[in-house]
């Protein structure tokens, strides 16, 4: 049997290569999808997979991820329980690429390294089942009920190179839109998050910085007047907001299974761009549009969080969201400083704001307001 494994190069997926070979008698093909991983990590993952006896594919999907997933998330103001969706947003794209390779390789099974306690098992399998229902799904860590300590012990026994140890058993996932850190001492909500876990949001700038973001039809197209492609723009904003410590989130999250888990996120670009986008929407959309869109955005985010990217409702919601974004064009200036991101100006050719109507200093016939319905004021 041939199995194609979604491969990150981390502990669980590296252990899965050996488990698939030894416990499931599989020929293993690994797929690492670049959605914003460093070149060193990509090379290390490929080298490790080959060393462990797998045929390996590395797929550059950064542009597709930024354009078709992150930009949709911006238009939908996508967040779950107070943090921007990042890991959840990338999983359907990664799973789709794994299915593509499986068809190319004429494989019998699709595999992943998710545990039975997390969300990613649902996200991978929802795509696997919808796009390749005829293929078997293998989840070795879940099926063999392995703990993280047991996975580390197995890796050492089988000479599988791993990036973690028992003293710092953090599980880290990152892509262009965010970095997620969990596990180890972070599982105790009463323990402060150690500074060492952060990489993107270490404060390097100590003076306030003004950054202008330009949007066109709901998506960012330029920073400080310079047009950038989607990947470049997100990388640049991660750098600008990250050096001011913007985008750190420590949260108790309700997982799909109903388990509460402590999660730490670094999402500087997401925090800044979503804040700017929301302010521009407030300037150009009507009160009724804004109110209804809040519920649509929440429904969209919930679907993505639960791994239901292929659910037809998600595309239906996209149609409404895209319509609202036709006027979300303009510029927003942000002030970045000391872990904060504040809006200082916003402008748009589609602005619904009238200084004359709103100002207490401008002379206007206030009597004209007597006949307006409540929802028109």
Residue-wise pLDDT tens digits, 312-352: 999 999 999 999 999 999 999 999 999 999 999 999 999 99
Say what the pLDDT of residue 369 is: 54
Residue 302 pLDDT class (50, 70, 90 cuts):
very high
Mean pLDDT of 80-106: 97
pTM: 0.92
Q: Over the stretch 241-253, which tens digit does the pLDDT of each residue have?
A: 999 999 999 999 9
- Is 91 annotated as catalytic? yes
Say what the pLDDT of residue 170 is: 81
Give the Cα separation of 327 and 368 in Å (integer): 28
What is the CATH code for 2-173? 3.40.50.620
pLDDT at 116 over 60: yes
Give the Cα separation of 30 and 98 in Å (integer): 8
Q: Catalytic residue, from 62, 72, 91, 148: name it.
A: 91
Residue 377 pLDDT class (50, 70, 90 cuts):
very low
- Asked whether 266 and 248 are in contact (CB, 8 A), the reply is yes
Residue 365 pLDDT class (50, 70, 90 cuts):
low
Mean pLDDT of 85-112: 98
Mean pLDDT of 13-31: 97
Give the Cα separation of 94 and 217 in Å (integer): 27
Mean pLDDT of 17-36: 97
Kind and range of the H or E run holding 335? strand 330-337
- Is 12 annotated as catalytic? yes
Mean pLDDT of 120-138: 97
Q: What is the mean pLDDT of the chain?
A: 93
Q: Quick one: tokens of 123?
A: 């996200």
Neighbouring CB atoms inside 10 A of 222's CB total 15
What does the domain layout of the chain look like in residue ranges?
2-173, 200-285+328-347
Residue 44 pLDDT class (50, 70, 90 cuts):
very high
pLDDT at 305 over 50: yes
Mean pLDDT of 219-224: 98
Which residues lie closer than 8 Å to 54 by C-beta, 6 or more apart? 5, 7, 17, 28, 29, 30
Q: Catalytic residue, from 67, 129, 142, 171: name it.
A: 171
- Asked whether 65 and 175 are in contact (CB, 8 A), the reply is yes
What is the C-alpha R_g of the chain? 23
Say what the pLDDT of residue 90 is: 98
pLDDT at 362 over 60: no
Mean pLDDT of 277-288: 98
Residue 368 pLDDT class (50, 70, 90 cuts):
low
What dihedral angle (degrees, nearest 10) is formed by the CA atoms of 312, 313, 317, 320? Answer: 70
Q: Catalytic residue, from 8, 12, 14, 86: name it.
A: 12
Same fold: 2-173 with 200-285+328-347: no
3-state secondary structure of 8: coil
- Is 316 annotated as catalytic? no
Candidates 3.30.479.30, 3.40.50.300, 3.90.1260.10, 2.60.40.10; correct CATH number of 200-285+328-347?
Answer: 3.90.1260.10
pLDDT at 355 over 90: no
Say what the pLDDT of residue 331 is: 98
Mean pLDDT of 124-137: 97
pLDDT at 7 over 60: yes
pLDDT at 122 over 50: yes
Nearest CA to 233 out of 257, 214, 254 is that of 214
Say what the pLDDT of residue 354 is: 80
pLDDT at 8 over 70: yes
| Helix/strand/coil percent split, the chain, to 5 | 45, 20, 35
Q: 3-state SS of 57-88?
A: EEEECHHHHHHHHHHHHHHCCCEECCEECCHH
Q: Over the stretch 177-189, which tens digit does the pLDDT of each residue have?
A: 999 999 889 999 9
Say what the pLDDT of residue 198 is: 95
Q: Over the stretch 58-74, which tens digit does the pLDDT of each residue have?
A: 999 999 999 999 999 99
Say what the pLDDT of residue 99 is: 98
Q: Catalytic residue, from 86, 120, 297, 346: name it.
A: 120
Say what the pLDDT of residue 184 is: 87
């Amino acid at each position: 049997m041939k199995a194609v494994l979604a491969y990150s190069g981390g502990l669980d997926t590296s252990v899965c290569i050996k488990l698939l070979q030894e416990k499931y008698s599989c020929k293993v093909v690994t797929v690492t999808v670049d959605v914003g991983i460093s070149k060193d990590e990509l090379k290390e993952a490929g080298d490790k997979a080959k060393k462990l006896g797998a045929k390996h594919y590395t797929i550059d999907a950064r542009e597709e991820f930024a354009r078709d997933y992150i930009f949709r998330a911006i238009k939908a103001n996508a967040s779950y329980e107070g943090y921007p969706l990042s890991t959840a947003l990338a999983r359907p794209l990664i799973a789709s690429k794994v299915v593509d390779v499986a068809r190319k390789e004429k494989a019998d099974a699709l595999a992943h390294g998710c545990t039975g306690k997390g969300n990613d098992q649902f996200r991978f399998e929802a795509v696997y089942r919808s796009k390749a229902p005829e293929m078997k799904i293998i989840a070795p860590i879940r099926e063999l009920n392995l703990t993280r300590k047991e996975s580390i012990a197995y890796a050492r026994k089988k000479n599988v190179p791993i990036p973690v140890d028992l003293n710092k058993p953090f599980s880290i996932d990152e892509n262009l839109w965010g970095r997620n850190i969990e596990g180890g001492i972070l599982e105790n909500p009463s323990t402060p998050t150690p500074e060492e876990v952060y990489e993107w949001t270490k404060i390097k700038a100590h003076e306030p910085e003004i950054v202008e973001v330009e949007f066109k039809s709901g998506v960012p197209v330029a920073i400080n007047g310079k047009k950038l492609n989607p990947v470049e723009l997100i990388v640049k904003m991660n750098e600008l907001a990250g050096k001011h410590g913007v985008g750190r989130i420590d949260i108790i999250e309700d997982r799909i299974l109903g388990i509460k888990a402590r999660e730490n996120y670094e999402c500087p670009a997401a925090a800044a761009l979503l804040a700017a986008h929301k302010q521009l929407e407030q300037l150009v959309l009507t009160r009724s549009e804004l109110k209804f869109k809040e519920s649509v955005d929440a429904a969209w985010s919930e679907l993505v969080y639960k791994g239901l990217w292929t659910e037809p409702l998600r595309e239906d919601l996209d149609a409404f969201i895209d319509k609202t974004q036709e006027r979300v064009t303009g510029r927003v200036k942000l002030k970045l400083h000391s872990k904060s991101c504040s809006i200082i100006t916003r402008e748009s050719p589609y602005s619904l704001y009238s200084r004359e109507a709103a100002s207490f200093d401008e002379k206007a016939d206030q009597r004209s307001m007597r006949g307006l319905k409540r929802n028109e004021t």
